[in-house]
Amino acid sequence: MTFVRTYASLALALAAASCFSGYRTAADAKALRVRRGTFASDIVITGELRAARGEELAVPHLPQWQTTIKWIAQDGADMKQGDRVVELDNSTFSANLDAKRQAVAQAQQELQQKQAEWKADTLDKQLDVERKRADYDKTKLDASVPKEIVSARDFNDRQIKFKRAEVELAKAIDVFKSQKTSVKADGDNLLLNLQKAQRELDIAERAIDELILRAPRNGIVVIRDHPWEGRRLQEGDSVFIGLTLAQFPDMSSLQVEADLADVDDGRIGAGMPATIVLDAYPNMSFPGRVSSISAVAQESSRTSLRRAFRVIVALDRLDAVRMRPGLSSRVVVHAMKQQDALLAPRAAIDFSGAKPRAHLAGGKSVEVILGACNAQECVVKSGLKDGETLGHA
């Protein structure tokens, strides 16, 4: 009885094995068959959505070349016009801001005090000129009396007093003019000191105000990448004059910026159609076209030896609801398409020799002339026929 059960189990196992073996052979034979169809060669590259146009916020012109990010808004935040987007370190300016304000106040006080003193001194010297002029007029009148009317002694005294008054008047006028000249010169110097102090204060206050970068309009903000670390800018990063820190993108100018490895140089070109799939929405695709390819490959970062060409892919259709700058994207560039081509599976082709050979189902191999290949198939120019069954290489 035991023998019968064992024999039945063995027979069942053999039947099952022959069944699956037959299925695999049929599947393999169907898969490795020469056929006619459409040959497509696609190149897949990755990138992200970016806006070609938009208002940019950059580090302003400052007395020093470099500064630090003190605070920065979150990437993709919805901003209102005038909202703070980036605040740069202002410690260099705020540290001596009180001293500059005090310098302006002191310069103003000194100028006002001196102006009051100069006004009083000038008034005294002007009054002295008027007194001297009155003496001059009186002595001149006395000196004009004919000597026949007065005694010779009185006449001579009057002439001497007149000469003395004339000299004193001239001296007082010179002192008054000198006072006005001196007041003007000293006033100009103090005014220059005040203007210099005010100018330094204005520069410091303007620098502090310019270190707060604000939204130029309503919209989302895109924080730019660090120049050489391959990440978004963040608090504490050192930045330099002219570096763009954030952008308010023009959503109508969205495009895909992707990288093409330098080893794939020449495989795609401008004008080739493409299909764009956003990683956030993998079930949706958008048509596009390769717009341009950079002439020179560059390092992806300072710490990487890998080089890539920058590829710009224009979108034929925009989705205002789903598309946002910074979304990662997969771009399938349709580099080549050939209708009614004779196609052979790559699995049946042996590329190890000087010339490729196709393995037939019977175990033999034949030399073939191939055209373009993709990951699955190759275009056959000669050596095989449509419907011919092949074996694994």
Q: How far apart (Å, rounded) are the C-alpha atoms in residues 343 and 336?
A: 14
Q: Provide the pLDDT for residue 306.
A: 78
Q: Provide the pLDDT for residue 246.
A: 94
Q: Provide the pLDDT for residue 342.
A: 94
Write out residues in the chain with pLDDT < 50, as ranges.
1-29
Closest CA to 215 of 55, 71, 323: 55
Q: Provide the pLDDT for residue 201.
A: 86
Q: Provide the pLDDT for residue 114.
A: 87
Q: Provide the pLDDT for residue 20.
A: 35
Q: Please identify which residue in the block is written with the tokens 């001059």.
A: 136
Tell me what percent of the chain is helix, strand and coil, each rounded to the nearest 5. Answer: 40, 35, 30
Q: Could you give phi then psi for residue 106, rounded to 5 degrees?
A: -65, -40
Tokens of 359: 């393995």
Give a three-class secondary structure readout of 23-79. Answer: HHHHHHHHHCECEEEEEEEEEEEEEEEEECCEEEEECCCCCCCEEEEEEECCCCCEE
Q: Provide the pLDDT for residue 105.
A: 92
Complete edge-to-edge strand list for the sheet that includes strand 84-88: 212-214, 84-88, 66-72, 238-240
